[in-house]
Structure 1
């Protein structure tokens, strides 16, 4: 039974990987081709992770060690593989981010409207393809010929090399900039997001840079956190009122704890004042 399961995981992973490569090596700019390439390569990666966990112990491929009705998600698989007590595999934080972004991209392709360009998907494919070559060889002890033929390998390597060349050019461009702030891009995870241009010069992701209303520090717009749940909300005769204690609805991650503490301090102070006034009028009425 165990042998059959092993063959299912590994053979299916290789099958999906070969399908992904088949789509990727086609000389076309059709987004649909790259859509299937990323769908298949991420599926291949998820199955390969489960196979590696199975080799540690079959129970680790399941979400709960007490139940065998659902296997682990890709994110849980990464966590277990990196755990020194389980997989003890070195997967860098940078690779982890790229893997999770590819996984999220697959979810978008499958479940939501999709508007990414083929260049964007090609970039993600190149990242995962490179990682999987390493993973198959070093972690599943496969020869290259066991999961991809030589011609396919050479064709896709050209894509990986193209990505490397583009990254080098972007990094060279960044190096020529003076008095510019450059951040890690939330899309490609490279230090190529030029703040003043509000765009990455490598993957071309655009995002607004906004000031935190509390401390004034610049942040990616998506990084600001909604703290309105700390306000006092009330409904009176169908009309919604809110006491925000002089605070904005969002702030940067660095300010969240202090801002919420300030609100709690204000609430406590107001409560103490109300109690003092109630006591004052109570004593006065005696």
Structure 2
């Protein structure tokens, strides 16, 4: 019988992703798909391990069913909330962006159509990989960054993490220097989407920018459930839904 604990399982998924990671500019869409799914799996497993170290029951969706062997483990969104409430982990804005990117891109791959540009894929891989290393080191004392980046087979990873860090730094410098009006990108979740150019300054994701008919603020087409049809930004769309559900007038 072969058995992985959570850390071994996470490390195996990371190594599986690396098998599909060639030098920057050498991967196809199939490679990017597998890399992103594996990285999302790594993030989820590391989160569960942190919960397990606090108490094994927290890994299960229904804590009351612990320690039943047929109980379901907690999902990606709930495990993230428990880390904040139970483990008192405060995630930075950049870390939350990486977490959302991993989860949403994995869902897109597994449940819907998937398309991605070369530049966007490199940025997203570097973004999530940087988060994996920092969380593993800071919260689980794994020292993955120090050990893996010294190993010859892991040298390729440095290209991606440095590529992303450089993109983020240059984007922020450009935003500050030119006073560019930016909103949150729906792909990498950074506040780096240039409203005028309709493109993200980090990952390069491009999409139509619309104006909310209520608050007149710009928003990206895919950020809302009803998109152009409702003509509402995410904030106003939520308020409209809440008012409708509670029979209130907004």
| TM-score category of the 2 structures, normalised to the smaller one | 0.7 to 0.9
- Pairing of 1:84-233 with structure 2 (within 5 A): 86-144=86-144, 150-177=151-178, 180-222=180-222
- For residues 119 and 223 of structure 1, what CA distance do their matches in structure 2 show? 21
Q: Structure 1 stretch 106-115 or stretch 89-98: which is displaced more?
A: 89-98
* 1:186-234 alpha-carbon deviations (Å, 9 max, x no partner): 32233322212222222222232223323434333345676xxxxxxxx
Unaligned 5+ segments in structure 2 are none
- For residues 42 and 114 of structure 2, what CA distance do their matches in structure 1 show? 21
1:81 correspondence with 2:83: yes
- For residues 72 and 83 of structure 2, what CA distance do their matches in structure 1 show? 18
- For residues 225 and 41 of structure 2, what CA distance do their matches in structure 1 show? 32
Q: Structure 1 stretch 49-58 or stretch 192-201: which is displaced more?
A: 192-201
> Helix, strand or coil for the counterpart of 1:51?
helix
Judged with a 3 Å threshold, the aligned counterparts in structure 2 of structure 1 residues 155 and 211 are, in CA distance, closer, same or farther, namely closer
- The alpha-carbon deviation at position 165 of structure 1 amounts to 1.9
Q: Structure 1 stretch 40-49 or stretch 147-156: which is displaced more?
A: 147-156
Unaligned 5+ segments in structure 1 are 227-247, 266-286
Structure possessing the higher radius of gyration over alpha carbons: 1
**Where is the strand percentage greater, Structure 1 or Structure 2?**
1
Judged with a 3 Å threshold, the aligned counterparts in structure 2 of structure 1 residues 208 and 136 are, in CA distance, closer, same or farther, namely same
- The alpha-carbon deviation at position 111 of structure 1 amounts to 2.6
Judged with a 3 Å threshold, the aligned counterparts in structure 2 of structure 1 residues 43 and 90 are, in CA distance, closer, same or farther, namely same
TM-score by length of 1: 0.70
- The alpha-carbon deviation at position 149 of structure 1 amounts to 5.9
Larger relative CO (CA 8 A, sep 6+): 1 or 2? 2
- The alpha-carbon deviation at position 133 of structure 1 amounts to 1.1
Q: Structure 1 stretch 34-43 or stretch 53-62: which is displaced more?
A: 34-43
> Helix, strand or coil for the counterpart of 1:206?
coil
- The alpha-carbon deviation at position 23 of structure 1 amounts to 2.1
- For residues 157 and 126 of structure 1, what CA distance do their matches in structure 2 show? 9
> Helix, strand or coil for the counterpart of 2:219?
strand
Match of 1:230 in 2: none
Match of 2:12 in 1: 15
Judged with a 3 Å threshold, the aligned counterparts in structure 2 of structure 1 residues 126 and 10 are, in CA distance, closer, same or farther, namely same
Match of 1:238 in 2: none
Match of 1:274 in 2: none
Alignment partner of 1:43 out of 41, 44, 48: 41
TM-score by length of 2: 0.79
